[in-house]
Amino acid sequence: MRERLARLEQRRAWLYAAPATVLMLVFVLLPITAVTAISLTDWQLGARDFSFQGITNYVEMFRDRVFWKSLGNTFAYVAYYVPASIVLALALAIAVEASGPLRGFYRTAFFLPVATTFVAMAVVWEFMLHPDLGLVTIALTAIGLPKENWLGMPDTVLMALAAIGIWLRLGFYMVLFIAGLRSIPRELYEAAAVDGASTPWRRFRLVTWPMLAPTTLFVAVIALIQSFQVFETVAVLTRGGPSKSSEVLLYTMYTEAFTFLRTAYASSITVVFMLIVFAITIVKTRLLEPRIHYK
Amino acid sequence: MSRSFQRRLMGWLLHAVLAVAAFVVLLPLIWMVSTSFKTLPEIMSGELNLIPQHWAALENYAKAVGTVPVLRFMFNGLVVSAAILALQLLVAIPAAYALAKLRWRGRNAFLATILLCLMVPHQAPAIPVYIGLHTVGLINTYTALIAPFAFSAFGIFLLRQYFMTIPDDLIHAGRIDGMSESAILWRVVTPTAAPAIVAFAVFSVIAHWNDLFWPLIVVTTPELATPPRGIVFFRNDEFGTDYGAMMAMTVIVTLPLVLLFLLMQRRFVDGITMSGLKG
């Protein structure tokens, strides 16, 4: 009887897991295996024949200046995005938490961009950065900066894109920091005050910053992964330009695969992209998840 | 200076800084709405009026809806995000239940594979999935927009974590009452997981309403475009420098999610926060 029940449970479990397993195979596991395999051939979309090429595509990629430019731009974008996001989000979180009865209003205001349609807001930002009519351009000119086409210059385009990206997600990181701040026991602040931490800055250094370290690390890794996957703003606003100065990894992969139809080469870029994301995720798991138990 | 005065001064300063910051953060939204109400000459004049001096709201919105199938984009966005969510839940709920509450051979291997899939960025399978869809002639269909996302490793993992916290007694009680196993799953366990399901729903809808990468690959006709894809279609060709109409279009497209957020802030924020787990 018991054995029969166990067999029934076994069969039911397989039935329940079957749709997920099939879809997982078809849309994730087989494709990432296939993309790795294609990257070792010279196959092109629509071609009937192909031949095994070993690591030829990877050699070509590592010799290609555009690939290195694209990788460098992606890391530069990340380098603008992550530190600025953390500093601004943390500052906002602390200020909002200290603001008393208006706290809810401020939190809503800062979070609102997260609820927008990103591509639409990218278009709005382009208008705001318009070299003649843009609100931001005019405001920056008013405080003494030169009148520039910030999205149109090689030196500033990544910074401008990072600023747009930060604006879109800042409220999300702020909310994560607020959750972290609320988990700090009040007594620690009282103890610090007794020990002579009289100014807000010293309380921050003594209590907030060390207690918030896990949250900060968490936000840093999320911001890192999200910024590494920058695509929308580039695809809509700059298309990698001017002269490849905003070419980023995902956009390069997209154009190689679907504009130039160099399927095998694009596959090798995908593999590199995927490996970097794996590496970040593994570091994240090592750093952050000793405390989370998957039983 | 007295202590209390100092403290009050700090308080005022804090509010001043926050108010300015809030204004700056909201400015793109305010400016978008403001511009969508203005006449073209006023926009082109380079004057920065928050309240338009000459109103052209009707003209701009009529033009946005008239020249571009923007309502069609919204409909497509709704259909695609809703269908993806429904399929994801239909697939994830039984799988998560099997992982959390049933004893079977292969459970650990299945969980390990889900965790592996959790690491795969959603753009990585794009090329082979496109080739597959192309081969079976499904490019430019709703199926192409929806099917690749029916499996969500994140959804399965999230629901599994939640189902683990549901006491076994609840399930036993259902069995004693003579409920069938599938009734226990859908009518007892699933409603209990409502908070997790709502949070996942928010996360999923935001992600797919906003996605540009995949629609850019599988949709080449405006009839099937989701809002982001549609904007890429029409941004330059139809509007040129008619910023008033263009901003009207962005307002229309942005409004639904923003309203949803304002109506159910708590759940919205919870859903977004949960997405932090995925990254």
How far is Cα A73 from Cα A289, in angstroms, rounded to an integer? 30
Q: What is d(CA B21, CA B36) in angstroms, rounded to the nearest whole number? A: 23
Determine the pLDDT at residue A112.
93
Partners of residue A235 in chain B, C-beta under 8 Å: 212-213, 216, 232
Averaged in consecutive runs of 10 residues, what is the pLDDT profile of chain A (295 residues)?
A: 83 94 96 94 82 88 92 96 96 91 90 93 92 87 86 92 96 91 87 81 87 90 92 93 92 94 93 93 75 43
Give me the percent of chain A exceeding a pLDDT of 70.
97
B56 touches chain A (CB under 8 A): no
Domain ranges of chain A: 65-288
**Residue ranges covered by each domain of chain B:** 3-64, 69-275
Its CATH architecture, for the domain A65-288, is Orthogonal Bundle (1.10)
Q: What ipTM was estimated for this complex?
A: 0.90
What digits encode the pLDDT tens for the residues B173-232? 998 998 998 999 999 999 999 988 988 998 899 999 999 999 999 999 999 999 999 998
The pLDDT of B163-170, averaged and rounded, is: 91
Nearest chain A residue (CA) to B48: A135
Answer whether B84's CB lies under 8 Å from B204's CB: yes
- Taking CB atoms and an 8 Å limit, are A117 and B235 in contact across chains? no
Q: Does the pLDDT of residue B272 top 80, yes or no?
A: no
The minimal CB distance from A99 to the residues B15, B48, B102 is found for B15
A-chain CB neighbours of B131 within 8 Å are 34, 45, 263
State the pLDDT confidence band at B236, using cuts at 50, 70 and 90. low
Rounded to an integer, the average pLDDT of B121-139 is: 94
Binned at pLDDT 50, 70 and 90, residue B1 comes out as low
| Residue of B3, B24, B25, B163 to mutate when probing chain A, most A C-beta within 10 A | B25
**Which pLDDT belongs to residue A293?**
41
Please give the pLDDT value at position B238.
66
pTM for the structure as a whole? 0.91
Taking an 8 Å cut-off on Cβ atoms, the answer to whether B257 and A274 are in contact is no
> Where does residue B54 fall: left (phi above 0), alpha (psi -120 to 50 degrees), or beta otherwise?
beta
Containing H/E element for B16? Answer: helix B3-36
| A34-58 confidence digits (pLDDT tens) | 999 999 998 888 777 788 888 888 9
Distance set, CA A40 to CA A29, B23, B219 (Å): 17, 52, 28
Q: What is the pLDDT of residue B279?
A: 42
CATH number of B69-275: 1.10.3720.10
User: What pLDDT score does A292 carry?
Assistant: 45
- What are A209-214's contacts with CB under 8 Å, separation 24+? A211/A184, A212/A90, A212/A177, A212/A180, A212/A181, A212/A184, A214/A180, A214/A288
